[in-house]
Each structure stands twice: as C-alpha cells, then as structure tokens.
Chain A
Amino acid sequence: MSTAHVLLGLLAGGPLHGYELKRAHDQRLPQAKPVAFGQVYATLGRLQRDGLVVTAGQAQEGGPERTAFQVTDAGRQRLDEWLAEIEPPAPFVSSTLFAKVAVAVLVDGAQRARDYLVAQRAAHMGRLRELTAIKTDPASPLGDVLAADFAILHLDADLQWVSNTLERVADLHREVQP
C-alpha cells in the first residue's frame, strides 16, 4: 500500500500538520499499521520535493509552531490517478483495497468508492476465471493446480469483502463526513 497516496488523500480535505496527519491516518485506516511519525515527515518531504504538496503557513494552537501542508493541483491529479488505478488482482491486496476505498470516500464521496470497487471486482473476477481455467485444464500440473487453488480461495475472500463493502459504502461515507 502506498502511504504517500493515503497521506495525499487525507490532505485533500484541507491543510494538516504532520501530527494531525498521523492521527488522521491511524484513525481512518484502523486496519493498517499505525504510521510512524518519522515516516510521515519523510513522506511529506518527498511529496514536497515532487511538487505534490506545499507548506501552508504555520499553525499555532497555543503550543509550538507547526508547519501545515496542503495538496497542490499536481498532487490532486496524482491522487486521482491512484484512485482510478485497479490493483493487480493478486491475493493479499486487501489492505490496499481498503485504503483506496477509505480515501475515495473521504476525497470524493460514496460514488467514487463504488466505481473503484466495481472496477476492482471486475479485475478480480477476470483473474478468478483465469485461475479456474488453469485448475480445470487436465493438462495443468498438480503444482499449478494447487497454486491456483490457493489464489482462488484468497481472491474469493477479497471478492466477498468487495461485495459487502459495495453494500455499505454509503454508511462509510456518512461515518467519515465531517
């Protein structure tokens, strides 16, 4: 999963400073590992270097001065590209799928997440079909069949999650509405 894209997505709602960004990440993506504070700053540094975020003045809330960051047009464009990109339908991509859904809902609302899930589901189904063809081909060596089986069972689990999430995206949107 790309932490840089997730942070961009979190910033798309408005400028945040590094610590707020870490908190937003851990709160929005409870399934993911908490992001280390150092990683947030390192990532922000790279995003700034690439022109995807800029500093948005100093914020002072009674404490020390902290630098807030905001997304540039180029950053927003990069984010849109990421949200439109379908993940390769391999097992164990579920954390990335979840991150994309969460960010899509946050940035653009339920329909964006639904569009993504529908496209991702199609890719998963396509892969499931290929694997099923391998499994049912009498010429396939048993090793290939068992490997296909492993992937099929994991894709099936992902697909069930995609279907359930499609049903519930609107609720998720309501939950993250400010």
Chain B
Amino acid sequence: MTILRARGVVKSYGPTPALRGVTIDVAEGEILAVTGPSGCGKSTLLHCLAGILRPDAGEVSYGEHRLDTWSERMRARLRRTEFGVLFQFGQLVTELTAAENVALPLLLAGTGRREARTAAVGWLDRLGVADLADTRPGEMSGGQQQRCAVARALVTEPRVLFADEPTGALDSRTSEQLLGELVRVARDQRTTVLLVTHDVQVAAYADREVALRDGAVDASGLGLTAVQGRHGR
C-alpha cells in the first residue's frame, strides 16, 4: 500500500528550481533511500513529502490526504502526530537533558510529564543510551547525540520517519552503528522511512533507492534498482 505519494512536484526557491516535476510512491513499511549528488533536490523533496514545504505545483499525498491543499496549521499537527524527522545534527535543544529532549514531542502532543519521561527513558534505552538520560547534548559525542535524536524522532511512534543525511556528521563506524540500529528499530515498529543520502553505503541500508538528478527522478533509471524486498510484508 502506498503511504506517501508525490505527483509532478515542482518547487523553486526564487529563481532557483529545486524540483522539476518529481513523481514517486513510497510503500507503507518500506525503507526508501533518496539519493543523488549535492544540490539535486533531495532535501527539498523530503520537506515537501513531510508537509514542511508546500510545492509550487503538483500533488503530495499522505494516505488519502492531499497535503499540498492543507494549511500550515493542519500540516504542523499532522507532523507532530504521524511523522518523525531526523536531520544531520542540531535538532536537540542544548539547554535540555536527553530525556527532556526526547520527551518534548510527547509533551507537545499533550502527554503528561511523568508518562512522557517514562516513554523517553524507554526509547533512550532502546537506542542504547539510557545512561545519558540526564546528560545535556553538549556533553555527548556526535553519535550519542544522534541516538538521542533518533529516540526523539520515534518517541511518538510515527508512521513515517524522514531522515535527511542522518549520519552525515558521523565517522563511518559510528554511522554504521547508528544506521544498523535505526533500521532495526524502524522494522520492528513497521515505520516507513525516507532516508535521504548522497552516500551509496548509506543507501544500501534501504530496501529500494530512487535517484534524483537536477531536481528530477533520474530518467536513465540510474538507481532505480529492483526491490530485493527485505520488507516483505
């Protein structure tokens, strides 16, 4: 079943075209890599699919919902409840501890303090960093911070996780460990993942790959590799 869909999505920043009519389908439960060289429009596509940006033209659907027709307020609510986002770095609030950071999305969604804290610590534990619950980001390594960020992105148990170069700032060994963990948890949770990366080694963690080039899905079929479905469900 298709959970996310872009149909002829066009997006420019002023005179700079970023997407020139992108059409893709993301199946529920799949881990899809969006690849391509820097500047080809990967992040812009992720932002459009996540309802953060509104396309200039074309359609973006989440299930039955046409996100491109929704107001920012409705999209923001959807993002809080159904989506998780993970960026390269800088998403943790430096003044808060790990547990407070991870609890934040739950508090915003109206969960009580105590319950939110319990869930947050549970997620930190699942990512192997429970001992950092009362530590602030400034005292953590990059890998530890990203594990907290993963916990924060998943604490609301979103149906879709949007990850934009999530290991871009990590060394290769730390990156591998984080990706391994992320993929394992996503599969357990049946979370759909959109994994944006310019790195084929990162893309290899996904079930399938869509390559962008100059704001369009690469017409040569480059990267449109058959799904050797490990997500056979």
Q: How far, in angstroms, from A130 to B221 measured CA to CA in the complex?
A: 21
**Is B78 in contact with chain A by the CB < 8 A criterion?**
no
**Is A156 a contact of B225 with CB atoms below 8 Å?**
no
Q: Which residues of A contact B179 (CB under 8 A)?
A: 136
- Shortest distance from the beta carbon of B206 to any chain A beta carbon, whole Å: 8
- When C-beta atoms are compared, the residue in chain B nearest to A145 turns out to be B176
**Is A129 a contact of B200 with CB atoms below 8 Å?**
no
**Is A159 a contact of B200 with CB atoms below 8 Å?**
yes
- Shortest distance from the beta carbon of B102 to any chain A beta carbon, whole Å: 23
Knowing A126-B228, A129-B228, A135-B176, the reply to whether A163 touches B204 (Cβ < 8 A) is: no
Which size class do A's interface residues fall under? 20 to 34
Q: How far, in angstroms, from A163 to B183 measured CA to CA in the complex?
A: 26
Q: Which residues of A contact B105 (CB under 8 A)?
A: none
Q: Which residues of A contact B230 (CB under 8 A)?
A: 129, 133
**Is B108 in contact with chain A by the CB < 8 A criterion?**
no
Interface residues in A140-178 by Cβ distance below 8 A to B read 152, 156, 159-160, 163, 166
Q: Which of A121, A132, A160 contacts B204 (CB 8 A)?
A: A132
**Is A128 in contact with chain B by the CB < 8 A criterion?**
yes
**Is B209 in contact with chain A by the CB < 8 A criterion?**
yes
**Is B180 in contact with chain A by the CB < 8 A criterion?**
yes
**Is B1 in contact with chain A by the CB < 8 A criterion?**
no
Which size class do B's interface residues fall under? 20 to 34
The dominant DSSP class at the A interface is helix
**Is A122 a contact of B226 with CB atoms below 8 Å?**
yes
Q: How far, in angstroms, from A169 to B134 measured CA to CA in the complex?
A: 55
- When C-beta atoms are compared, the residue in chain B nearest to A158 turns out to be B200
Knowing A136-B183, A152-B201, the reply to whether A125 touches B225 (Cβ < 8 A) is: yes
**Is A12 in contact with chain B by the CB < 8 A criterion?**
no
**Is B184 in contact with chain A by the CB < 8 A criterion?**
yes
- Shortest distance from the beta carbon of B163 to any chain A beta carbon, whole Å: 16
**Is A114 a contact of B205 with CB atoms below 8 Å?**
no
Q: Which of A114, A122, A125, A135 contacts B203 (CB 8 A)?
A: A125
Interface residues in B137-183 by Cβ distance below 8 A to A read 176, 179-180, 183
**Is B201 a contact of A121 with CB atoms below 8 Å?**
no
**Is B29 in contact with chain A by the CB < 8 A criterion?**
no
Interface residues in A64-107 by Cβ distance below 8 A to B read none
Q: Which residues of A contact B224 (CB under 8 A)?
A: 122
- Shortest distance from the beta carbon of B219 to any chain A beta carbon, whole Å: 11
Q: Which residues of B contact A130 (CB under 8 A)?
A: 228
Knowing A133-B230, A136-B180, the reply to whether A128 touches B204 (Cβ < 8 A) is: yes
Q: How far, in angstroms, from A133 to B183 measured CA to CA in the complex?
A: 10
Q: Which residues of B contact A156 (CB under 8 A)?
A: 200-201
Q: Which of A118, A135, A160 contacts B221 (CB 8 A)?
A: A118
Q: How far, in angstroms, from A129 to B204 measured CA to CA in the complex?
A: 5
Q: Which of B205, B209, B222, B226 contacts A132 (CB 8 A)?
A: B205
List 6 A–B pairs whose Cβ atoms lie within 8 Å, in order of A's numbering: A122-B225, A122-B226, A125-B200, A125-B209, A126-B226, A126-B228
Other than the given A118-B220, A121-B225, A159-B200, 5 more pairs (CB < 8 A) read A121-B222, A122-B225, A125-B209, A129-B205, A163-B222
